[in-house]
Chains A and B, each alone.
Chain A
Amino acid sequence: MADAARKVEAPAGGDLVLEGVTSGYGAVSVVKGVSLRVAPGEIVALLGKNGMGKTTLLKTILGMTPLSGGAIAVDGASVAGLSPAKLVALGVGYAPQELALFQDLSIRDNLRLALSSDKRLPEALERVFGHFPFLADRLSQHAGTLSGGEQKMLILARALMLKPRLLLIDEISEGLQPSVVDRIATALAHERAASGASMLIVEQNLDFALRVADRWAVLKLGEIDDEGGVDETARSRALAHLGV
């Protein structure tokens, strides 16, 4: 990634701090005492195999899975217990992994749903068309008729509509061909460069994660197993934990 894209002149991103976050479903804890920080303007990749608690952690941050222990703060203020609607109002965007589009709605309506009103719609659409120009000509097309890669780009575009200060992205590169992964990586880099957004990216694609992120952490059985900066040792260390 170009240095220009990595550097943020005046970071406007959110500051996410997780301290001893524990959460799960019923009596079962899936995430166990996770502490992690995503500093303003920073991109952190959360790596791990399936079933390690990555998605659950994102949903816990977003208030969709109940927090059973620890603390979650954005810009120093606790957001534990806040509804997703309130978090979105704080500028937290979310690009989910599964069943993440309204298949029977048009591309335009899928994008509209990211905003609370249509007042900023033209401006927001222009922004995401800059990242993914194909969307501009196909606004009335049903989302379900897009290819897998196009759907992933639409999911990301919808999350970017909000001009988020903090973006939570769940396995956006999963199953995509390299050219689409490139476009998504470029879009994330440009968005961060333009708006200073902070991002927490859940990934299994190590190449993509290390390309876009500043730091990485590996989640194993709900706990942070290792973490570090993106440097020459990152790949081998992460690979050792991921076992791929």
Chain B
Amino acid sequence: MLLVLDILTTAAILFVVSIGLLAVFGVLKIINFAHGAWLTIGAYCAVVAAKLGLNPWAALPLAFVVGGALGGLTELFIIRPLYRRPLDAILATWGLGIVIGQLITLGFGRDVQMTPNLVSGTVEIFGADYSAYRLATLGAAIVIGVAFALTIGGTRLGLSARAVIMNETLARGLGIDTARVRLFTFMMGAGLAALAGVLLTPLTSVDPNMGVGWLIGAFMLVMVADASFLALGVACLVFGAAQVLVSTFVSPILGSIAIAVLAALVLRVSPKGFSRA
């Protein structure tokens, strides 16, 4: 049973980390390689909140707002001028990620930062103690997933975003302000990444390069999901299970590369990954 919980909570963490990247990829058709940097910014929002003596939970809205605002500026001044040069846009996000990492180093140093736990202790489940925080991440993933689904499925912005994902030229011809849709999507993606950064703080060390490892996993998951929200959920569950099982029964080192290896295999067999498109 604990293994099942490990799989579910690992999948939840992967989902929370990847959902912002998926949104940006779906609408802007670029992989935002600064995604890891937005995660790091979120984690440092938790550091700042702690230093200011704020309630640890206040870091969540703070990170979402800071991530969204910085994401908006990035889209306006870096991504938008490169709309017609997607490869350059991707390279620009890569460079931006490096710059953000260096700026964080300048501001906070290279040392690992400590943040207070959002949820501490354990919960007894089926006669065994299990991390309350890992269970909380499962709840967080469900809340974020539902909120995301409601935004995409139940709002005008979500409808416009789906139209842009399906056929941007047609959407533009119908008068949809695709630039505005791109802007809001990038803000949402960066905000969600920063939110994920806060949620990661009890699980990983907070340092200026913490986002790089998570970026690679998120990238693989989004490639397999191919801009499909449901496919991302399935990919997180399947790959999370693989990671947990390999780590538990084979080797934690091999477990850490399970996602990359599996993603490569899936894409080799099915170029569209888990999406039905």
Residues of the A chain whose Cβ atoms lie less than 8 Å from the Cβ of B170: 96, 99-102
Q: Are B163 and A102 in contact (CB under 8 A)?
A: yes
Residues of the B chain whose Cβ atoms lie less than 8 Å from the Cβ of A59: 173
A136 within 8 A of B: no
> How far is it, in angstroms, between the C-alpha of A137 and the C-alpha of B156 when the chains are bound?
23
With A99-B167, A105-B166 given, is the CB distance from A87 to B159 under 8 Å? no
A64 within 8 A of B: yes
Select the stretch in A41-49, A113-121, A219-227 that faces chain B: A113-121
> How far is it, in angstroms, between the C-alpha of A114 and the C-alpha of B166 when the chains are bound?
16
> How far is it, in angstroms, between the C-alpha of A162 and the C-alpha of B171 when the chains are bound?
15
Q: Are B172 and A64 in contact (CB under 8 A)?
A: yes
A109 within 8 A of B: yes
Q: Are B163 and A84 in contact (CB under 8 A)?
A: no
With A102-B166, A112-B159 given, is the CB distance from A64 to B173 under 8 Å? yes
Interface string of A86-125 (1 = CB under 8 A from B): 0111000010100111111100010011101110000000
Interface string of A161-191 (1 = CB under 8 A from B): 0100000000000000000000000000000
Q: Are A64 and B162 in contact (CB under 8 A)?
A: no
B160 within 8 A of A: yes
B169 within 8 A of A: yes
Residues of the A chain whose Cβ atoms lie less than 8 Å from the Cβ of B253: none
Q: Are A113 and B176 in contact (CB under 8 A)?
A: yes
Q: Are A84 and B172 in contact (CB under 8 A)?
A: yes
Give the A interface residue count (CB, 8 A): 27
A-B interface pairs (CB < 8 A), number? 55
A6 within 8 A of B: no
> How far is it, in angstroms, between the C-alpha of A233 and the C-alpha of B98 when the chains are bound?
71
- Chain A nearest CB, measured from B62 CB (Å): 31
Q: Are B163 and A105 in contact (CB under 8 A)?
A: yes
B175 within 8 A of A: yes
- Chain B nearest CB, measured from A101 CB (Å): 8
Residues of the A chain whose Cβ atoms lie less than 8 Å from the Cβ of B129: none
A1 within 8 A of B: no
Interface string of B159-195 (1 = CB under 8 A from A): 1101100110111111111000000000000000000
Q: Are A64 and B166 in contact (CB under 8 A)?
A: no
- Chain A nearest CB, measured from B161 CB (Å): 11
With A109-B159, A113-B159, A118-B156 given, is the CB distance from A104 to B166 under 8 Å? yes
A contact patch SS: loop
Residues of the A chain whose Cβ atoms lie less than 8 Å from the Cβ of B163: 102, 105, 113
Q: Are A88 and B166 in contact (CB under 8 A)?
A: no
Q: Are B159 and A96 in contact (CB under 8 A)?
A: no
Q: Are A62 and B159 in contact (CB under 8 A)?
A: no
Which residue of chain B has its CB nearest to the CB of A96?
A: B173
A158 within 8 A of B: yes
Q: Are B162 and A102 in contact (CB under 8 A)?
A: yes
Residues of the B chain whose Cβ atoms lie less than 8 Å from the Cβ of A104: 166
Q: Which of A55-72 contact B (CB under 8 A)?
A: 59, 62, 64
Which residue of chain B has its CB nearest to the CB of A94?
A: B173
Residues of the B chain whose Cβ atoms lie less than 8 Å from the Cβ of A102: 162-163, 166-167, 170
With A102-B162, A105-B163, A109-B159 given, is the CB distance from A88 to B174 under 8 Å? yes
- Chain B nearest CB, measured from A161 CB (Å): 10
Q: Are A113 and B160 in contact (CB under 8 A)?
A: yes
Q: Are A64 and B175 in contact (CB under 8 A)?
A: no
Residues of the B chain whose Cβ atoms lie less than 8 Å from the Cβ of A10: none
Which residue of chain A has its CB nearest to the CB of B166?
A: A102
With A105-B162, A105-B166 given, is the CB distance from A85 to B177 under 8 Å? yes
Residues of the B chain whose Cβ atoms lie less than 8 Å from the Cβ of A96: 170, 173
Which residue of chain B has its CB nearest to the CB of A161?
A: B174
With A99-B167, A102-B166, A105-B166 given, is the CB distance from A84 to B174 under 8 Å? yes
Q: Which residues of B contact A (CB under 8 A)?
A: 156, 159-160, 162-163, 166-167, 169-177
- List 23 A–B pairs whose Cβ atoms lie within 8 Å, in order of A's numbering: A62-B173, A64-B172, A83-B172, A84-B174, A85-B176, A85-B177, A88-B174, A88-B175, A89-B175, A94-B174, A96-B170, A99-B167, A101-B170, A102-B162, A102-B167, A105-B162, A105-B166, A112-B156, A113-B159, A113-B160, A114-B175, A117-B156, A158-B174
Please list the 6 inter-chain residue pairs (A to B) with the smallest Cβ-Cβ separation, ordered nearest first.
A88-B175, A85-B177, A85-B175, A102-B166, A84-B172, A94-B173
Given contacts A85-B176, A102-B167, A113-B176, 13 further A-B contacts (CB under 8 A): A64-B172, A64-B173, A83-B172, A85-B177, A88-B174, A100-B170, A101-B170, A102-B170, A104-B166, A105-B159, A112-B156, A118-B156, A162-B175
